[in-house]
Chains A and B, each alone.
Chain A
Amino acid sequence: MTIETYYEVMRRQGISRRSFLKFCSLTAAALGLGPEFSGRIAHAMETKPRIPVLWLHGLECTCCSESFIRSGHPLAKDVILSMISLDYDDTLMASAGQQAEAILTETMEKYRGNYVLACEGNPPLNEDGMYCIVGGRPFVEQLREVAEHARFIISWGSCASYGCVQAAKPNPTRATPIHKVILDKPIVKVPGCPPIAEVMTGVLTYILLFDRLPELDRQGRPKMFYSQRIHDKCYRRPHFDAGQFVESFDDEGARKGYCLYKVGCKGPTTYNACSTTGWNDGISFPIKSGHGCIGCSEDGFWDKGSWYARLTDVEAFGIEANADKVGLGAAAVVGAGIAAHAVASAVKQTRKHDGDEQ
């Protein structure tokens, strides 16, 4: 049996050549690549056999799936859902029960070493994993089995990446992020509760088309989406700079759209693309609708105090800062002791993506 290419799958589903090319240019833009990459994406989709994606669910709330299937551009959603060949996803697939588990086993055998494991949620390890049972067995066993022969592993959302609410203190089930269970393979973390739909489809498309993981930061997050903080690109940032703050919700400052730092916004410590990509097809994001960022894409955000408490631990900003800024972040910079490479990387991160970094 010959394996179809992405392009063949799309054409079979009634997507025109014109729409296909439009999808390629949209994808290039979403990935922060220059328009010249559109042709490379088209070529890859026409020639590469599609790779099955096994989408596992551990302890989670399905918000990652909900976000994913609502990718802003309808074309992108249709294309990606048909193209990623979701052979197993217990939320989206038609089959159930033993039939479903049989598909999982079959795909793992047929595409051994050549499928993508996308994990939503995490395994609880207490009581031998009994707090999360899938197909009659602890989820952690399924996760380890599927991971063993996976070509790439994606950790969807804050649950899989950091633990999220089920790992909040005192974490009674010992819910554990997947990189602490799968120790022998690189994992791309796509944190957020949920992650932005366009970020999810972007990461997946990149892996499928270029057959490698995108460039990651030291925490394992794709740099193209997680290299800047909400604060860096927030449209309310000029009010922060000018010292104009909302003092309490519904005050004059709130009506004028001032900065939400004093009512607990975690934008200055949160790395995500919300302030540039936006949500719901770019319509809005939490700060734009008047609420501070709760920092849902950061490690342990449930245990960092109230969402409405203002950030006070100034030194923590430096320590938590993006790994790439660590030269200026972790240690105080004194006098002439400026690391030129740290300044260079700060400037580079500030620059708009232009595709020449591939």
Chain B
Amino acid sequence: MKGWVADIAARLADGFEVVHRSRMAGLPIVNPRLRVEAAGFRDWGDLALGVLITPWFLSFVLAPRDPARWAALPVGGARTHRFPAGEFEFLVGTLEGFGRYQSCSLFSPVPQFADQVAARGTAHAALDILIGAEPPSSRRAPVTRPPAPPRRLSRRALLLGRGRSKEPLP
């Protein structure tokens, strides 16, 4: 992981950990079996891309290398980003001490995750699908066909209308 990406991941996790311990404390929608974790962060052009796991949501997150770049975006606005798995709409959010980021919700709340390992596994699997490391589903898996045999047509065959020549051309 590149240094600036690691820095973004760490600052996001720290920021949401503060939210977890303060404003989210004691709320019934918080899953006590989970903790805040920035999972699978990597660079995506000039953006950091990863999944943020918290005890109340699990979302794809994008944040710019240069925080000033998104500073003027209105919170709550939607932005569409294209990934190998298709177009996804992200919402602009803001976090104290971090600034603007964009997130696309996968799960919220998150009672179905029994432990952090399960949430982390889901996060990595979802990222793999998003960036095309895996087909979105088996149904949409690309069909691999054997390469078509080279179609060679000799000039003589073409002019005489005999279709493909029998002997391969050199």
Footprint of B on A, CB under 8 Å?
A: 231-233, 235-245, 257, 261, 268, 310-315, 317-318, 321, 325, 328-338, 340-341, 343-348, 350-352, 354
**Is there an interface contact between B125 and A350, defined as CB atoms closer than 8 Å?**
no
Residue of A nearest to B18 (CB): A243
Q: Which residues of B contact A343 (CB under 8 A)?
A: 122, 125-126, 129
**Is there an interface contact between A346 and B107, defined as CB atoms closer than 8 Å?**
yes
Count chain B CB atoms within 10 A of each CB in A312, A317, A329, A350 and give the residue with the most.
Answer: A350
How far, in whole Å, are A295 and B78 apart by their CA atoms in the complex? 23
**Is there an interface contact between A332 and B113, defined as CB atoms closer than 8 Å?**
yes
B85 at the interface (CB under 8 A from A): yes
B153 at the interface (CB under 8 A from A): no
**Is there an interface contact between B86 and A338, defined as CB atoms closer than 8 Å?**
no
Q: Which residues of B contact A310 (CB under 8 A)?
A: 28
Q: Which residues of B contact A347 (CB under 8 A)?
A: 85, 106, 126, 129-130, 136
A314-B29, A351-B88, A354-B87 given; 14 more Cβ-contact pairs under 8 Å? A233-B78, A235-B77, A236-B76, A237-B76, A237-B105, A238-B76, A238-B91, A238-B93, A314-B111, A329-B112, A330-B112, A338-B118, A343-B125, A352-B86
Q: Which residues of A contact B47 (CB under 8 A)?
A: none
**Is there an interface contact between B57 and A336, defined as CB atoms closer than 8 Å?**
no
How far, in whole Å, are A245 and B23 apart by their CA atoms in the complex? 9
**Is there an interface contact between B76 and A318, defined as CB atoms closer than 8 Å?**
no
Ordered nearest first, which 10 A-B pairs have the shortest CB separation?
A: A243-B23, A238-B93, A235-B76, A332-B114, A334-B114, A333-B118, A351-B86, A344-B137, A343-B125, A312-B28
**Is there an interface contact between B88 and A352, defined as CB atoms closer than 8 Å?**
yes
Q: Which residues of B contact A335 (CB under 8 A)?
A: 114-115, 117-118, 121
Residue of A nearest to B60 (CB): A350
**CB-CB under 8 A for A268 and B29, given A334-B115, A347-B126:** yes
**CB-CB under 8 A for A242 and B28, given A332-B112, A338-B121, A351-B87:** no
Could you list 22 A-B pairs, sorted by A, with CB under 8 Å? A235-B91, A238-B91, A241-B54, A243-B19, A243-B22, A244-B23, A268-B109, A315-B111, A318-B112, A321-B112, A332-B114, A333-B118, A334-B118, A336-B117, A338-B118, A338-B122, A343-B126, A344-B125, A344-B137, A347-B85, A348-B137, A350-B104
Q: How far is the CB of A351 from chain B (nearest CB, A)?
A: 4
Q: Which residues of A contact B87 (CB under 8 A)?
A: 351-352, 354
B31 at the interface (CB under 8 A from A): yes
Q: Kindly supply a per-residue 1/0 record for chain B positions 53-91, scoring 1 wherever the CB is within 8 Å of any chain A CB and 0 otherwise.
A: 010110110000000000000011110100001111101
B108 at the interface (CB under 8 A from A): yes
How far, in whole Å, are A314 and B88 apart by their CA atoms in the complex? 27
How far, in whole Å, are A341 and B87 apart by their CA atoms in the complex? 19
**Is there an interface contact between A328 and B31, defined as CB atoms closer than 8 Å?**
no
How far, in whole Å, are A311 and B28 apart by their CA atoms in the complex? 8
Q: How far is the CB of A343 from chain B (nearest CB, A)?
A: 4
How far, in whole Å, are A350 and B105 apart by their CA atoms in the complex? 7
Q: How far is the CB of A352 from chain B (nearest CB, A)?
A: 4
**Is there an interface contact between A341 and B137, defined as CB atoms closer than 8 Å?**
yes
Contact partner, A238, options B22, B85, B86, B103, Cβ 8 Å: B103
B94 at the interface (CB under 8 A from A): yes
Footprint of A on B, CB under 8 Å?
A: 16, 19-20, 22-24, 28-29, 31, 54, 56-57, 59-60, 75-78, 80, 85-89, 91-96, 103-109, 111-115, 117-119, 121-122, 125-126, 129-130, 134, 136-138
Residue of B nearest to A340 (CB): B125
How far, in whole Å, are A340 and B109 apart by their CA atoms in the complex? 20
Q: Which residues of A contact B28 (CB under 8 A)?
A: 310-314
Count chain B CB atoms within 10 A of each CB in A231, A310, A318, A338 and give the residue with the most.
Answer: A338
**CB-CB under 8 A for A331 and B112, given A237-B105, A350-B88:** yes
**Is there an interface contact between B29 and A311, defined as CB atoms closer than 8 Å?**
yes
How far, in whole Å, are A241 and B134 apart by their CA atoms in the complex? 28
Q: Which residues of A contact B91 (CB under 8 A)?
A: 233, 235, 237-238
**Is there an interface contact between B108 and A232, defined as CB atoms closer than 8 Å?**
yes
**Is there an interface contact between A241 and B112, defined as CB atoms closer than 8 Å?**
no
Q: How far is the CB of B75 from chain A (nearest CB, A)?
A: 5
Q: Which residues of B contact A317 (CB under 8 A)?
A: 29, 109, 111
How far, in whole Å, are A142 and B60 apart by their CA atoms in the complex? 50
How far, in whole Å, are A332 and B110 apart by their CA atoms in the complex? 10
Q: Which residues of A contact B122 (CB under 8 A)?
A: 328, 333, 338, 343
Q: Which residues of B contact A243 (CB under 8 A)?
A: 19-20, 22-24
Residue of A nearest to B74 (CB): A235
How far, in whole Å, are A310 and B87 apart by their CA atoms in the complex? 33
How far, in whole Å, are A350 and B77 apart by their CA atoms in the complex? 16
Q: Which residues of A contact B86 (CB under 8 A)?
A: 351-352, 354
